[in-house]
Structure 1
Amino acid sequence: MKLKKVNILPIIVTTVLILPIGVAMGAFLEKRYGFKNILQGNFQTDSSSETTQTNQTSIPQKYQGKLQLFILAGQSNMAGMGDLPPQTKLANTNPKIYVFGNDYRWKLAKEPIDDPTNQIDRISEDKPTGYSPALSFATAVLKQRPDMVIGLIPCAKGGSLIDEWQRKGNLDENTLYGSCLKRVRAASLMGNVAGILFFQGEIDAVDPKEEPKRVFSANQWANKFTLLIDNWRGDLNSPNLPVVYAQIGSNTEPQRFVNWAVVQQQQRQVKLPYSAMITTDDLALKDYVHFTTESYQIIGQRFAKAYLSLPK
């Protein structure tokens, strides 16, 4: 049996021509993307990728599962409408305060806490948002309890009625209650829920004739707020969950907020165990109903003082 001769010259020529191209391509990929990253599925461009950002801002392992989580609910004065300080001051972050952002990613907390960038639950989306009481609250709590690591969970929605916060047997994520509960449960992988901060009621003081299709509850605010907290405590399996809520402060349009005093009185009448109310009517406003940055800082400190005074 004769072996057939094989002409290897074309193979050698092809190899000689292709090899330098392959080496050059490999060098290019290694320089631009990192060949190891390609093999591991971590393909990244030169720009800041979502994966890189997540790794840089994720919670350190030593804190994972140990965060004390606080729900931030209500309307725009909880989301925050204060003027933001210069970026140089906003860059200062506390390594023991985190926020479960509206994009469902953990990051070091800085104002605006209720940042709508890449927001997932559009039901609670606010544009724009500004400085809020949240970071001031967390900072004040840490001064008294330096062993804590705090996680903030923004859920507030500007202009939301107390009736629109009700559970009503509906845990749909397209409701304020359902959306907030969903993100709290997602955030709870990093710790346990330690409290609720609530600031709402301004819109319920508006003359109902202004929006006849909405359910205003000036005279039922106390009952609806109590029911809301009872439902939250039940769904979170935490019957003694601490709650601090803010009484609405002042406004410059009394002809519009005809039931302001009624809502304030309703808020004073709330009888809930493990709860406390703070006042805000002595603080400066920046517009008809929203506070200045300095006022929000004081509100946060009052939230903290009230929270720390509650029985544990």
Structure 2
Amino acid sequence: MRWFICLMILFSQRTMAQQLFLAAGQSNAVGMADSAMSVPCAPGTAFEYRWASDSLVYLADPVGERELHFESAHTGSAWPAFAKAYHSLTGKQVVIVPAARGGSSCHYKAELNNYGTWDRKGRLPLIDSAIIKARAAVKKTGQPIAGILWSQGERDANAINAKQLTAGEYEEQLMAVVKQFREALGRQVPFYIIQTGHYLNHPAAGFDAVREAQENAARKMKHVFIVYTGTTGFAGKGWMKDEIHYNQTALNHIGATVAEQVAQKEKR
């Protein structure tokens, strides 16, 4: 039976239209929830690209590998739910390219210890590593990156609260990140933003500033979209794992909702 499933997966890799999505950001993009409650994907419909082995593997939590300074889910993420919903809506096979690191900042002024930054400055810049991994996935599959799924901003929000960073600096750097990805992966590659939520028992001002900056970037730049807005309501729904991280119910909802939004925008 196992050989038959492997054969079907291999056949689907060769015959089904593929869509590659780079999943990037910080800890909520890594996934800090529960793989036991993660959504299973049907064989042959969803894969994860792994850079170290240059291979496609069945997409299942914990998604991600400790490679190129990126991390694996601890232990559940949003990406199986995204892939399952996207495949159901489009009939296309999904390849997730995980490129997220917990605590990473967007702006180098917000970088904390060795957690990394998506700025080109800083102690541990991450964007070149993400580009290396994305390009390797493109080469492996022969398909372009169909979109970047972005969940990031908590570190910068804390830095705004601490007066280490302004909302304007964050917004400018977020737009620079989009431009840098596009210079490397395609000038029109869509950038899909999951809006940052609130850090419970911390000032909301910095987090609201980040959310506003994300909305501004989507308004100012073509093919930059806010695809999930409801993260600030998670505490009231009991969808928080702790003060800052989303639980698996939340991540499953994010994944499915983002898939719906992406599929809708691809039709336009």
User: Corresponding residue for 1:194?
Assistant: 146
Task: Report the TM-score when normalising by structure 2.
Answer: 0.79
CA–CA distance in 2 between the matches of 1:67 and 1:248? Answer: 29
Q: State the aligned residue count.
A: 242
Q: Which residue of 2 aligns with 1:46?
A: none
Give the aligned partner of residue 156 of structure 1: 100
Partner amino acid, structure 2, of 1:187: A
What corresponds to 1:290 in structure 2?
Answer: 245
CA change 1:178–1:132 in 2 (3 A) is: same
Is the Cα contact below 8 Å between 2:63 and 2:79 reproduced in 1?
yes
1:10-29 aligned within 5 A: none
Partners of 2:262 and 2:209 in 1: CA distance: 25
Listed as ranges, the matches of 1:295-306 within 5 Å are 295-306=250-261
Contact 1:57–1:106 (8 Å) recurs in 2: no
Judged with a 3 Å threshold, the aligned counterparts in structure 2 of structure 1 residues 183 and 287 are, in CA distance, closer, same or farther, namely: same
Q: Contact 1:73 / 1:198 at 8 angstroms: preserved in 2?
A: yes
Partner of 1:266: 213
Residues 93, 108 of structure 1: 8 Å contact kept: no
Question: Partner of 1:158: helix, strand, or coil?
Answer: coil
Aligned twin of 2:85:
140
Greater relative contact order, per chain length (Cα 8 Å cut-off, separation 6+): 2
1:129 is the counterpart of 2:74: yes
Query: What is the distance in 2 between the residues matched to 1:242 and 1:79?
Result: 20
| Preserved CA contact (<8 Å) 2:49 2:98 | yes
Letter in 1 for 2:181: W
Superposition CA RMSD, Å: 3.0
Read off the aligned partner of 2:210 and give its amino acid letter.
Answer: V
Q: 1:158/1:301 Cα in 2 relative to 1: closer, same or farther (>3 Å)?
A: same
Question: Partner of 1:109 in structure 2?
Answer: 59
1:275: how far off? Answer: 2.1
Aligned-pair CA distance for 1:241: 1.1
CA change 1:286–1:219 in 2 (3 A) is same
TM-score under structure 1 length normalisation? 0.69
Q: Is this contact kept in 2: 1:93–1:110, CA < 8 A?
A: no
Distance of 2:132 and 2:224 partners within structure 1: 23
Distance 1:129 1:287, change over 3 A: same
Between structure 1 and structure 2, the one with the greater Rg is 1
SS of 1:165's partner is coil
Q: Once the two structures are aligned, what percentage of the paired residues are identical?
A: 24
Quote the residue 1:239 is aligned against. Answer: 187
Partner of 1:165: 118
Instruction: State yes or no: 1:76 paired with 2:27.
Output: yes
The superposition leaves residues 117-162 of structure 1 with CA deviations (integer Å, 9 ceiling, x where unpaired) of xx332x2235x6221111111111111111x111100000100000
- Report the Cα offset of residue 175 of structure 1: 3.4
1:141–1:217 CA distance, 2 compared to 1 (3 A):
farther
Per-residue deviation, residues 64-89 of structure 1 (Å, max 9, x unmatched): 49531100000000110112217xx8
Structure 1 Cα separation of the partners of residues 100 and 199 of structure 2: 20
What SS does the aligned partner of 1:269 have? helix
Equivalents in 2 of 1:161, 1:217: separation in Å?
Answer: 13
Tell me the CA shift for residue 309 of structure 1.
2.3
Cα distance in 2, alignment partners of residues 288 and 273 from structure 1? 33
Q: CA deviation at 1:201?
A: 0.3
- Evaluate the alpha carbon distance shift between residue 272 and residue 309 of structure 1 in structure 2; reply closer, same or farther with a 3 A threshold: farther
Aligned to 1:68, what secondary structure does the other structure show? strand
Change (3 A) 1:258 1:139: same
Deviation at 1:227, TM superposition (A): 1.2
Provide the C-alpha distance between the structure 2 equivalents of 1:254 and 1:129, rounded to a whole number of angstroms: 24
Report if the CA contact (8 A) 1:141-1:304 is conserved: yes
Q: Closer, same or farther in 2 for the Cα pair 1:57/1:199, shift >3 Å?
A: farther
Aligned to 1:38: none
CA shift at 1:93, angstroms? 4.5
Separation (CA, whole Å) in 2 of partners of 1:175 and 1:58: 39
Matched-pair contact (CA < 8 Å) for 1:219–1:266:
yes
Does structure 2 retain, via aligned residues, the 8 Å contact 1:97–1:138?
yes
Q: For 1:87-106, what aligned pairs fall within 5 Å after superposition? A: 93-101=42-50, 103-104=52-53, 105-106=55-56
| In structure 1, C-alpha distance between the alignment counterparts of 2:254 and 2:104, rounded to whole Å | 20
CA distance in 2, matches of 1:82, 1:224: 29
Quote the offset at 1:254 in angstroms: 1.1
